Amino acid sequence: MSGELFLPGSLPCETAEQSFKVFGGTLGQWLDYMPDGEVGTRRYWVDGVAFRVFTNHPEIETVKRPVPDDNGVERWWPHGRHDEFGFRVRPGITKVRFGDPGWRLGFTRDAVNSYALFRYMKKDGIIPQRVRFQVCIPLTYSSLGYFFPEEDVPKLVPGFTEALRAEVAKMVELIPNDDLAIQWDLAIENRLIDMALANGSVEDGKKEAKRVMAPAAELCPGIPKAVHLGHHMCFGTLSGWPSRQPPNLTSAVLLSNAAVDASGRSVEFLHIPTLGSAEDAFFAPLKDLKHDGARVYMGAIHHLHHARGMGDQLKAMKKYLPEFGLASPCGFGRAPDRPGRLITDDGSKAANPIEIILADHKKAVGTLAEVMGR
């Protein structure tokens, strides 16, 4: 059944063509959206933004780089959260600007190139005709939050949001709108709300959610209605998934509600991660989810379930959210040396991680159908 599965973004493939053939071809019957796997410099998510955008920017100073490999050869991607780029805004700069509107951040360039392959894959029948091409983009605070000192962030937010708006405008100009979906990645936004909740109240969490989603209010209303829009909540993966284990889904629900409110137009899909719990208390915040008709995908395809699998967790979800699809809690391609890490305790030990991922997704469809009584 279409829309039962969702791929949040990265895939353990080296090229968009591989992603479309392996995952689109195998799982396409259950998908409404298909990403290109976030290959190339997007493999490491916002570290790709650091490398291709912030490094050598004339208004930004690089103060830290990922350490070289074991042979002393430079590398642009980090060994973990501790090893990322670090930057600061140069003295005297009050607003960092980004040139070459529509192309500077690299998302439009990659999307246009991948869509050309996607279109031919659909023409050849590898990807079902109804499936849309899914572009995944980290929102403003996700793109900035890891790399700059707190006092510099306000100097970057306006200019970076302007650059994102230009990328989206060019993207919807060049890709057929009825074949396109745009997803905003909200991992750092989710973390900031986790911190607000840990240090304060639910009201503090709501205020933080509104603050970090303010850029979406500048970006989403201008996206044509024919383009599908979605938001991806996330608990983080860089140092090994999950980077955080909040006590329940309050932060994700607060963020999702703020994302819908800030969008200023229809939202077609929302993605909410889960952990290993099957307790009602973990999923109870879903009763406050204001999805406004968006398809909700729960990130429940992972290795944290007990021996009976995900069935108990899905039953707990259903008490608070009658209808939902399934996904992994994040993308599978963030750490290519451990591509199955969301499915097994250590993906690098899996004989064929991609086959495990595909098999688990197919099994998840059956489990969901059983729980939903279909």
The pLDDT score that the predictor gives to residue 246 is 85
Does the pLDDT value for residue 332 go beyond 90? no
36's tokens: 């290109």
Phi, psi of 209 (to 5 degrees): -60, -45
pLDDT tens track for 201-231: 999 999 999 999 999 999 999 999 999 999 9
What is the count of structural domains for the chain? 1
Does the pLDDT value for residue 238 go beyond 90? no
Q: 120 is in which domain, residue-wise?
A: 5-372
Mean pLDDT value across residues 298-306: 90
Neighbours of 186 (CB within 10 A): 28
3-class DSSP assignment, residue 63: strand
Q: What is the mean pLDDT of the chain?
A: 93
Mean pLDDT value across residues 249-275: 97
Pairing of strands 86-89, 60-64: antiparallel
The pLDDT score that the predictor gives to residue 145 is 87
CB distance 142 to 189 below 8 Å:
yes
Mean pLDDT value across residues 105-131: 97
- Could you give the angle at which helices 187-199 and 202-212 cross, rounded to 10 degrees? 150
d(CA 337, CA 373): 38
Bridge partner list, 212: none
User: In one letter, which amino acid is 101?
Assistant: P
- Of 237 and 366, the one with more pLDDT: 366
The pLDDT score that the predictor gives to residue 141 is 97
pLDDT tens track for 64-80: 999 999 999 999 888 87
| CATH number of the domain residue 122 falls in | 3.20.20.210
